[in-house]
């Protein structure tokens, strides 16, 4: 049937209306006023994961590279990162567009000054693990000219809009940088506060989050926030000198702070002195009441094999760790506590070049006990090891400790008594990243992958030793039997109790190079492998020339929570001849701290 012109016109108008609704629903070109609508970001506004106070953020990467070791290891990309960061470039481009289209008197040098002014930055962990959420506070008279006229611009610009008002009718603006990327900012007098995402300040409906709004208002009024109280810091001045970086232990321990119970944060201070040598200082926020046995690590270093890629002493909270074990093992809270109550002092974790990054060795001290207590501990350890360790093995025979009706097959746990006071438990676990080849095992037919982990636990001479790689446990047992040199043999005796971390750059470089190569098979990732050979390997070889380095705390710790200095020591006796290490530690006598830059 032939349609009349009137019906055709009505149909076309109807289709245009439908198309407009669909475009607005999907693309939303007329919705920039609501572009900030997003879910609330979960964070504690009073306790950030990291804090930066800087005289100029753009100079921070270059000042970090004034440390000789980092200068040799990091690339120029690290320095250029801030200059080419997508947020900075997008913001700078948006400001230039606003100045051009709205005829604002903003010169390029004035825009660049925004990124080179003194700043106070609070940062929080984002879901991907980065410090992706932040609030930046700045105080500088030079910003006043740049921010003039924002109210008029926001009324007519699609990229800039006013989204809320703080106390005192202070407007909050949203600057849309890209699809899904919007920052907020607010100004008052000569103060500016910038927020990395709308959800830091606004809820899903665009309303202010009361507690956070109060915090931002306080930053605009006085420049103060709760970070100084949370980390026992001096309140930042209006013009900080150099840089101060604070990182919470909960962040750099990936949430496993039960193993770092006595450390609340690390702090790095840089004071410019105009010389080529950097003046970085390291401090730790220590809570003495949570430190096991005053954090004396000497016994641990005497038990661990020499020449580790890296070793760290962990001031573990065994009561809290027992609680975690009780949740994953069927032994329950009482059974887990029976193990945790028998452990004392700090623990240690070490990586070695002969193994892999996913298979370190853990060592902890066991309290002095009678024969009956040791027997009870062995029973609890064996039962827990059998329950917790292992994965489903499709080819394995039914394991007795899995239960006859469970249908969950694993290889059996083997138990060996190796002389007086030494008991070893072991279970093979199939895994593509395992440290042993399945083809060389007598039980190869029962394994489900080409490689496996010989997961091993040992109780020996008052120590509890665990590793996914049995070779590291064997080496530790050899140290305890005086058949292998210990890590303590390579450290100054007077520094043993207070050494909390030690690193052997040559071993660490070898481990990283091999692991990187294993992660990039030549027949599958040729482009990445070539990039690794070109950029990564030379830096690792530069790192390998440095002598072993260790970090120590003061001999006497404070009686209450407070910051204590952390000293860096280079062992010149093991430095490579003519290597970069000699230049970095040339002013450091043997067993004495080097320059702060080292």
In eight-state DSSP terms, residue 486 is B
Instruction: Write out the H or E segment, with its range, that includes residue 11.
Output: helix 5-26
Position 142 pLDDT exceeds 70: no
Q: State residue 151's pLDDT score.
A: 52
* Span 501-511, pLDDT tens digits: 999 999 999 99
**Which one is predicted more confidently, 518 or 231?**
231
What's the confidence (pLDDT) of residue 43? 92
The DSSP annotation for 35-83 comes to TT--PPPP--TTS-SEEEEES-GGGHHHHHTTSHHHHHHS-HHHHHHHH
More confident residue, 444 or 403: 444
* pTM score of the predicted model: 0.74
Q: Which residue has the higher pLDDT, 93 or 564?
A: 564
**What residues form DSSP beta bridges with 294?**
none
Say yes or no to pLDDT of 25 above 60.
no
User: Quick one: how many helices (H) and strands (E) in the chain?
Assistant: 20, 21
Structure tokens given for 145: 């000219």
Least confident of 63-67, 175-179, 397-401: 397-401
Mean pLDDT of 203-226: 90
Q: Rounded to a whole number, what is the distance in angstroms from the first to the last CA of the chain?
A: 88
β partners of residue 444: none
* Neighbouring C-alpha atoms within 13 Å toward the C-beta of 152: 8
Cβ burial of 2 (10 Å; 0-12, 13-18, 19+) is exposed
Q: Which residue has the tokens 């001479």?
A: 461
Q: Which 3-state string (H, E, C) describes 381-429?
A: HHHHHHHHCCCCCCCCCCCHHHCCCCCCCCCCCEEEECCCCEEEEEEEE
Domain layout of the chain by residue ranges: 32-285, 292-504+548-556
pLDDT value, residue 522: 65
For residue 164, how far is the Cα from the chain centroid? Answer: 34
Q: Which of 56-60, 414-418, 458-462 has the lowest mean pLDDT?
A: 56-60
The CB density around residue 480, as the number of other CB atoms within 10 Å, is 21
Report the pLDDT value the prediction gives residue 141, as an integer from 0 to 100: 55
pLDDT digits (tens, 9 = 90+) for 292-328: 667 889 999 999 999 999 999 988 888 888 887 877 7
> What residues form DSSP beta bridges with 347?
314, 364
Higher pLDDT, 398 or 519: 519
Identify the pLDDT of residue 507. Answer: 93
pLDDT, mean of residues 365-388:
87
pLDDT digits (tens, 9 = 90+) for 467-513: 999 999 999 999 999 999 999 999 999 999 999 999 999 999 999 98
Say if residue 114's pLDDT is above 80. Answer: no
What is the rounded distance in angstroms from the CA atom of residue 78 to the CA atom of residue 64?
A: 10
pLDDT for 28:
39
pLDDT for 407: 60
Q: How confident is the model at residue 148 (pLDDT cuts 50, 70, 90)?
A: low
| For range 174-181, the mean pLDDT | 73
* Residue 282 burial class via C-beta count within 10 angstroms: exposed 0-12, middle 13-18, buried 19 and up: middle
Q: Dihedral through CA 7, CA 12, CA 17, CA 19, nearest 10?
A: 140
Burial 137-148 (b: 16+ CB within 10 A, else e): bbbbeebeebbe
In our burial notation (b when 16+ CB lie closer than 10 A, e otherwise), range 429-439 reads: bbbebbbbebe
Q: Decide if 136 contacts 50 (C-beta within 8 A).
A: no
Instruction: Please give the average per-residue pLDDT across 569-587, as a whole number.
Output: 45
Beta bridge partners of 267: 246, 283
Task: Provide mean pLDDT across the span 141-159.
Answer: 54
- List, in order, residues 6 or more apart from 341 with CB less than 8 Å away: 318, 322
The predicted-structure confidence for 77-105, as pLDDT tens digits, reads as follows 555 545 555 555 555 555 555 454 444 44
The pLDDT value recorded for residue 486 is 95
Question: Average of pLDDT values for 322-340?
Answer: 77
The mean pLDDT value for 137-142 works out to 70
Query: What φ, ψ does residue 465 adopt, rounded to 5°?
Result: -125, 135
Distance CA(282)–CA(269), nearest Å, equals 7
Q: What is the mean pLDDT of the chain?
A: 77
d(CA 270, CA 268): 7
Higher pLDDT, 160 or 22: 160
DSSP 295: G
Q: What is the pLDDT of residue 30?
A: 38
């Amino acid at each position: 049937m032939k349609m009349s012109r009137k019906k055709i016109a009505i149909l076309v108008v109807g289709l245009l209306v439908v198309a407009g609704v669909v475009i607005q629903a999907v693309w939303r070109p007329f919705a920039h006023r609501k572009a900030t609508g997003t879910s609330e970001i979960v964070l504690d506004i009073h306790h950030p994961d990291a804090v930066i106070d800087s005289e100029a953020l753009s100079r921070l990467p270059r000042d970090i590279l004034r440390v000789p070791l980092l200068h040799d290891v990091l690339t120029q990309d690290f320095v250029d990162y801030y200059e080419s960061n997508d947020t900075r470039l997008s913001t700078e481009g948006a400001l230039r567009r606003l100045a051009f289209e709205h005829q604002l008197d903003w010169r390029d040098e004035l825009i660049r000054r925004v990124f080179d002014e003194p700043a106070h930055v609070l940062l929080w962990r984002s879901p991907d693990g980065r410090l992706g959420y932040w609030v930046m506070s700045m105080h500088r008279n030079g910003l006043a000219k740049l921010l003039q006229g924002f109210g008029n611009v926001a009324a007519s610009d699609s990229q800039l809009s006013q989204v809320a008002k703080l106390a005192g009718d202070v407007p909050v603006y949203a600057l849309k940088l890209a699809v899904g990327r919007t920052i907020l900012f607010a100004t008052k007098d000569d103060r500016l506060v910038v927020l990395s995402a709308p959800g830091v300040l606004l809820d899903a409906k665009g309303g202010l989050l009361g507690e956070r709004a109060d915090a931002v208002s306080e930053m605009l009024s006085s420049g103060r926030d709760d970070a100084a109280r949370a980390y026992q810091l001096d309140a930042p001045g209006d013009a900080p000198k150099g840089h101060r970086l604070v990182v919470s232990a909960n962040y750099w321990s990936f949430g496993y702070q039960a193993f770092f119970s006595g450390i609340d944060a690390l702090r790095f201070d840089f004071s410019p002195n105009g010389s080529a040598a950097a003046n970085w200082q390291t401090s730790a926020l220590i809570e003495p009441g949570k430190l096991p046995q005053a954090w004396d690590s000497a016994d641990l270093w005497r038990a661990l094999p020499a020449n580790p890629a890296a070793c760290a002493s962990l001031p573990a909270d065994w009561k809290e760790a027992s609680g975690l074990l009780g949740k994953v093992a069927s032994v329950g809270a009482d059974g887990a506590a029976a193990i945790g109550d028998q452990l004392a002092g700090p623990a240690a974790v070490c990586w070695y070049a002969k193994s892999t990054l996913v298979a370190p060795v853990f060592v902890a001290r066991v309290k002095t006990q009678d024969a009956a207590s040791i027997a009870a501990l062995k029973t609890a350890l064996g039962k827990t090891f059998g329950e917790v360790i292992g994965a489903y093995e499709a080819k394995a025979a039914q394991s007795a400790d899995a239960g006859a009706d469970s249908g969950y097959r694993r290889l059996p746990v083997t138990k060996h008594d190796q002389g007086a006071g030494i008991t070893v438990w072991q279970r093979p676990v199939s895994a593509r990243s395992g440290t042993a080849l399945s083809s060389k095992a007598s039980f190869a037919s029962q394994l489900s992958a080409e490689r496996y982990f010989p997961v091993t636990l040992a109780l020996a001479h008052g120590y509890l030793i665990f590793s996914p790689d049995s070779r590291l446990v064997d080496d530790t047992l050899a140290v305890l039997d005086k058949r292998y040199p210990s890590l303590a043999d390579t450290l100054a005796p007077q520094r043993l109790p207070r050494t909390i971390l030690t690193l052997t750059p040559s071993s660490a470089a070898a481990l990283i190079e091999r692991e990187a190569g294993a992660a990039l098979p030549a027949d599958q990732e040729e482009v990445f492998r070539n990039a690794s050979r070109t950029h990564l390997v030379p830096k690792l070889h530069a790192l390998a020339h440095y002598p072993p380095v260790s970090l120590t705390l003061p001999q006497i710790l404070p009686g209450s929570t407070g910051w204590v200095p952390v000293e860096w020591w280079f062992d010149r006796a093991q430095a490579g001849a003519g290597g970069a290490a000699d230049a970095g530690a040339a002013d450091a006598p043997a067993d004495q701290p080097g320059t702060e830059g080292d």
